[in-house]
Chains A and B, each alone.
Chain A
Amino acid sequence: MTKPIVEIDDVVKRFPVDDSFFAKLLGNETYVTAVDGVSLSIEPGETLALVGESGSGKSTLANMVTGLHSPTSGTVKFDGEVVGEATSRNKETLAAIGMVFQNPRGSLDSRLTIKQIIAEPLKARGWSAAEREQKVESLIERVNLSQAYLPRHPHELSGGEAQRVAIARAIALNPRLIVLDEPVSALDVSVQAKIVNLLMELQDELNLTYLFIAHDLNVVEHIADRIAVMYLGQLMEIAPTEVLFTETSHPYTETLLSAIPSVDPTKQKERVILDGDIPSPINTPSGCVFHTRCPLADEHCATQTPAAEHIGESTSWCHYAAEFADDEKRIAGVMSDD
């Protein structure tokens, strides 16, 4: 087995809500626990999707990989070496990890031209003007835009075009890992597919590893090799994509799957709709964090934190993972018999 490119080990990230002097004095500091003890690894060349609702901690986890945040406890390793905040990383590590943000316009400085934007990482690495010129021209064509875009400003581009520019910038320094933070959720559905296809092409061509963040499963179905589902800062399930879609072993994943709109109007889907909202990350529920909304939860779930259960190729953090997976298989079997 190859060595993982990213290893995340028992990472916790807390953000202070009230850490003022008086709160400290009275022992009243409050924290939001955005990521709560997550461990996972990313293999070279794969696409790992991180999926979860808003507030599930997926972006925070990704930010610890890129270095926008540093973990409160636990370690993030890139290539076997512990990496901290971006400011403390060496140039090689910074160049080896690219990032694409959700809002393409927000991530491009509106006062620079497209050419300056794509050249920026090259400049930071000390490329000469002539080298930059050449590289920028090949990069813009690599993301299927013409060189006519180079003198323009970001506000003259459509959302999809701007995201292509952001991708061109992300691949400029030949990174090995690209963190994609909801790269298509701000785009039209028709454009989403084109961007996802472009990303898959680039992955094959440049031998890239992706950490792909999304809040719904249908976007990642085509691009992801494995999917990690997060809820309230914790992992619920990690499984290869096809396994997760056909025989999930976690009730939360089941609800996410049932939320994917069907393209076949004759097929009636049973939707699992959860009650209430995601609980506050300031006071996370005891036991299994999902028990307050889980249709299967019992007293055991409210008190005992589930450990990782390995079922086939998937790992699930549910007390009843085995039963649930069995159930799923049974349902899948019945359906294929029909």
Chain B
Amino acid sequence: MKNSRRLGRFLSNRLNVVGLLFVSVVVLSAIFAPVIAPEGPNEQDLFNRLDSPSAEHPMGTDQLGRDVLSRLLYGARISLQISLAVVAITLAIGTAVGLVAGYAGGWVDEALMRFVDVLLAFPGILLALVIAGILGPNLTNIMIALAVVGWTQYARIIRGSVLSVKQEEFVKAAQLMGVPRRRIVLRHILPNVVTPVIVLATMDMAYVILGTAGLSFLGLGAQPPTPEWGTMLSQGRNFVDTAWWVVNFPGLAIMITVLGFNLLGDGLRDVLDPRDMGDVENKGM
């Protein structure tokens, strides 16, 4: 469709550009961490513990003399890997459940949606906390916990969109032509319901990064010495009055990443607005 026009409109909003910039910085840091990091993430220098920022250590060193900047750069990898994995899993489960519930209708729909309601009745982070607590503290279990909590909103949104697209005449036409159900769902319905979900997924990246950091901060996620931002924050908070850099830089990294994904999501939502797509399609009616 009018992709160039959309790109132009996306870039015309300064906040969108800021979001894109923040996310790009984080992604590039993650990819090139071994190249740009001054030291390895776990290289200790016990003679230079809690050094303030200097030319050698631009963000100082932590309580074990590890370079904070290097740890942050490697930490970007962990945050992005986890959030990508969790969002991919939740997206896949949520979309599948939403498609089945919306298209099948009847008792299938009723059963799946009541189950979603039950999960949604708990505050997300609390449920994640319980699951991570039961499974034991490590990164894989954090991912499972966040995925269990996260897929429900996708299922709901997809189901709602499916219910409306199902009524469209092109779907009825396909049914009357004897197009197999699988193909109707995957070929006709799915492409017409993913747009709102892509926006949500972008925003969700931020939520998962925050969730991972939060659970790690509480000791349920990444364990030391993993250079995870939340873990770094939790370890560094003991020195907050003597060595501010140990805790402030990881905090800043989390903030920039979360803000970046949120701004990017907002921008995508405006540009991919289905009403706008309708305008393009209805032109000349």
A contacts, CB < 8 Å to B = 66-68, 86-87, 89, 91, 94-95, 97-99, 101-103, 105-111, 120-121, 123-125, 154-155, 158-159, 166, 169, 173
Is B8 part of the contact surface with A, judged by Cβ < 8 Å?
no
Chain B, 230-267, contact with A by CB distance < 8 Å: what is the 0/1 string? 00000000000000000000000000000000000000
Of B174, B177, B187, the most chain A CB neighbours within 10 A belong to B177
Which listed residue (B169, B177, B280, B281) contacts A94, Cβ 8 A? B177
Contact flag A120-B174 (CB < 8 Å), given A105-B281, A111-B192, A158-B284: yes
Interface SS, B side: helix
Cβ B177 vs Cβ A107 within 8 A: no
Known interface pairs A105-B282, A155-B281, A166-B173; 6 further A-B residue pairs with C-beta atoms within 8 A, sorted by A's residue number: A66-B176, A68-B175, A105-B285, A109-B187, A109-B188, A125-B178
Cβ B170 vs Cβ A121 within 8 A: no
Q: In the complex, A103→B173 CA distance in Å? A: 12
Of A95, A108, A155, A173, the most chain B CB neighbours within 10 A belong to A155
Contacts of A108 in B (CB 8 A): 170, 173
User: Quick one: closest A residue to B178, CB to CB?
Assistant: A94
Which listed residue (B176, B179, B192) contacts A68, Cβ 8 A? B176
6 closest A-B pairs by CB: A107-B169, A94-B178, A121-B177, A106-B169, A155-B281, A109-B170
Cβ A95 vs Cβ B178 within 8 A: yes
User: Quick one: closest A residue to B165, CB to CB?
Assistant: A109
Q: In the complex, A89→B183 CA distance in Å? A: 18
Q: In the complex, A314→B196 CA distance in Å? A: 55
Cβ A101 vs Cβ B285 within 8 A: no
A-B pairs with beta carbons under 8 Å apart, 21 shown: A66-B176, A67-B176, A68-B172, A68-B175, A89-B178, A101-B172, A102-B169, A106-B168, A107-B169, A107-B172, A109-B192, A110-B170, A110-B281, A123-B179, A124-B178, A124-B179, A124-B180, A155-B280, A155-B281, A166-B173, A173-B177
Q: In the complex, A67→B179 CA distance in Å? A: 14
Least CB distance from A86 to B in Å reads: 5
Contacts of A91 in B (CB 8 A): 178
Q: In the complex, A97→B178 CA distance in Å? A: 11
Cβ A120 vs Cβ B177 within 8 A: yes
User: Quick one: closest B residue to A157, CB to CB?
Assistant: B284
Which listed residue (B176, B181, B187, B285) contacts A99, Cβ 8 A? B176
Which listed residue (A107, A111, A121) contacts B178, Cβ 8 A? A121
Is B5 part of the contact surface with A, judged by Cβ < 8 Å?
no
Which listed residue (B173, B177, B281) contacts A101, Cβ 8 A? B173
Contacts of A107 in B (CB 8 A): 169-170, 172-173
Q: Which of B157-213 contact A (CB under 8 A)?
A: 168-170, 172-181, 183, 187-188, 191-192
Q: In the complex, A101→B280 CA distance in Å? A: 22
Contacts of A155 in B (CB 8 A): 280-283
User: Quick one: closest A residue to B285, CB to CB?
Assistant: A159
Least CB distance from A68 to B in Å reads: 6
Least CB distance from B47 to A in Å reads: 63
Cβ A106 vs Cβ B170 within 8 A: yes
Least CB distance from B198 to A in Å reads: 15
Contact flag A97-B176 (CB < 8 Å), given A105-B285, A109-B188, A159-B285: yes
Q: In the complex, A68→B168 CA distance in Å? A: 12
Q: In the complex, A66→B170 CA distance in Å? A: 14
User: Quick one: closest B residue to A90, CB to CB?
Assistant: B178
Q: In the complex, A107→B168 CA distance in Å? A: 7
Of B172, B191, B280, B282, the most chain A CB neighbours within 10 A belong to B172
Q: In the complex, A155→B277 CA distance in Å? A: 11
Q: In the complex, A151→B281 CA distance in Å? A: 17
Contacts of A109 in B (CB 8 A): 170, 174, 187-188, 192
Least CB distance from B8 to A in Å reads: 20
Contact flag A94-B173 (CB < 8 Å), given A105-B281, A155-B283, A158-B284: no
Least CB distance from A280 to B in Å reads: 23
Cβ A87 vs Cβ B281 within 8 A: no
Q: In the complex, A72→B99 CA distance in Å? A: 28
Contacts of B181 in A (CB 8 A): 87
Contacts of B168 in A (CB 8 A): 106
Least CB distance from B210 to A in Å reads: 34
Contacts of B173 in A (CB 8 A): 99, 101, 107-108, 166, 169
Chain B, 267-279, contact with A by CB distance < 8 Å: what is the 0/1 string? 0000000000000
Q: In the complex, A169→B179 CA distance in Å? A: 13
Least CB distance from B62 to A in Å reads: 52
Least CB distance from A260 to B in Å reads: 26
Contacts of B284 in A (CB 8 A): 158
User: Quick one: closest A residue to B171, CB to CB?
Assistant: A109
User: Quick one: closest A residue to B167, CB to CB?
Assistant: A106
Contacts of A95 in B (CB 8 A): 178
Contacts of A97 in B (CB 8 A): 176
User: Quick one: closest A residue to B192, CB to CB?
Assistant: A111
Contacts of B283 in A (CB 8 A): 155
Cβ A120 vs Cβ B179 within 8 A: yes
Contacts of A158 in B (CB 8 A): 284
Cβ B169 vs Cβ A124 within 8 A: no
